[in-house]
Amino acid sequence: MSNTTWLDTGDNAWQLTAGSLVGLQSIPGLVVLYAGIVKRKWAINSAFMAFYAFAAVLICWVIWAYKMAFGEQWGAAPFVGTPGPILTMNDELEQTFLPTSGIYTNFPMSTMVYFQFVFAAITLVILAGALLGRMNFTAWMLFVPLWLTFSYTVGAFSLWGGGFLASRGVIDYSGGYVIHVSAGTAGFVAAAWVGPRLKQDREDFQPNNVLLTLVGAGILWTGWNGFNGGDPYAASADAGAAVLNTNIATAMSLLVWTILDIIFFKKPAVIGAVQGMITGLVAITPAAGVVAGWGAVIIGALSGSIPWVSMNIIGKKVWLFHLVDDTLGIYHTHTVAGIVGGMMVGVFATVEGSAAFGLTNPGGAIDNNWKQVWLQLVGWLFIVGLNIFMTSVICAFIKYVCRIPLRMSEEQLLIGDDAVHGEDAYAFGDVRRSILHGDTARVPISGDGELGIIQGMPGHTEPEPETQIKTESEGSE
């Protein structure tokens, strides 16, 4: 590989940077966001579901899944590429070439494989948000590679790898359909299969650390510069436009969501602002580099309002949303917002933006190309249908063929992290864990420093079998 005249070091540097930013969105971004936004007893499990998915996806990606998403078409049907490894040194050093779509880039295949991996990984991490607080971790370990293989790769190939939706002109700039509509739909379907959290968890699931949630949200927002800015596959003018439009839409969405919270709930909720931020990021993703700045403002206004209505009004009145326990509401923040953004591409895509991205599409409805609206509709309908079917098949396979329960046991559901992982998220959890394991010691049990005895821990040699906790004022020795 001595001949590297094709290599543009600036493009390669930006692509590696963009990929790293997207990686940071998952670890630590969504890891800490999930850890903070859930009930305390699920902090570790929620974070670890994301952490595991990131690692598992990479191994599957380089052994077979990358080529399914971006390789040569497999057979006559234009839905998926031929599976296979991409692990030799020659594979890693050669110029990137996407055979079905005929696209070359000015950076090596190793850079492309990593860049596309972090997109695949974050899709599973987002999907996990619908299943937090009750999915059996063993089932999750199997679900991740299966869903990546049979669902994600099909959507990615169809829209990005040169498949039938791409060839017909459907625009998904950076994953509004491939990632967000897919994750939101699959998460909702999987949530129906897994079943709900405990009744008390559904009724009381207050975030255990709002500030930690904000840290994760900030990483997510900033990392989206790589998410959308990396998809021109070059350090180009369109990459700059995508980054700016991403931030415009996100800021607008957050403001609109917060204003609606104030109008209807009389308080500006921080968690609501985070939801508005996410819906803005999601909605601008399919459009980032093909719409103008004012288009980004409109998309942000819509993404701050339509998913708000979906989550806070429709979600509270329609029976289906009560039946299916979507823990973090990712159907609203990802499916609904992704569809909003995808359809607005059909309206606000510009001729100039499309050309800058390397597309031949003559803009959207604002440039008298109403056909683009229809194409965008076909795109999201395909992705929704694909994920309803494939996710159901995968969950049925795990449950009935592999005989692995999709839902945790009742004991695990009652206790949480300590029962599932033998770990607790916070240091003061040692007291709670000692109670569960039957240990004793004198520890403060009230705000004024009153001492209690917890059985079995060092510091108490004569445990009282008739009581778990006994205060000093009751005469403990």
**Average pLDDT of each block of 10 consecutive residues along the chain (477 residues)?**
83 97 96 95 96 98 97 88 94 94 94 97 98 97 98 96 93 95 97 95 92 96 96 95 97 98 95 96 96 96 97 94 95 97 96 92 92 96 97 98 96 93 75 52 42 42 43 39
User: Distance (Å, rounded) from C-alpha 229 to C-alpha 212?
Assistant: 26
Which amino acid does the sequence have at 223? G
Longest CA span, the chain: 85
Distance from C-alpha of 161 to C-alpha of 143, rounded to nearest angstrom: 24
pLDDT of residue 13: 97
Residue 425 has a pLDDT of: 86
- Residue 78 to residues 157, 166, 377, 385, Cα–Cα distance (Å): 8, 10, 19, 16
C-beta neighbour count of 365 within 10 angstroms: 15
Residues 391, 392, 393: CA angle, nearest 5 degrees: 90
Residue type, 255: L
How many Å apart are CA 233 and CA 229, to the nearest integer?
9
DSSP 402-462: S---SB--HHHHHH-HHHHHS--SSTTHHHHHHHHTT---EEE-STT--EEEETTSTT-SS
Among 408, 439, 411, CA closest to 135: 408
Q: Sign of the CA dihedral 210, 212, 213, 215?
A: positive
pLDDT at 4: 83
pLDDT of amino acid 427: 65
Say if CB 134 and CB 407 are below 8 A apart. Answer: yes
Which amino acid makes up residue 94? E
- So what's the pLDDT on residue 77? 79
Rounded-to-integer distance, Cα 117 and Cα 248, Å: 27
Residue 137 CA to residue 11 CA, distance in Å, equals 39
**Rounded distance, CA 29 to CA 50, Å?**
10
Give the model confidence (pLDDT) of 299-311 as tens digits. Answer: 999 999 999 999 9
Residue 356 near residue 238, CB atoms below 8 Å: yes
Tokens of 219: 């990483």
Three-state DSSP at 6 gives coil
What is the reported pLDDT for 472? 39
SS3 label, residue 104 = strand
Cβ atoms within 10 Å, residue 461 = 7
> What pLDDT shows up at residue 426?
84
Residues 6+ apart with CB under 8 A from 175: 119, 123, 227, 285, 286
Measured distance CA(5)–CA(43) in Å, rounded: 49
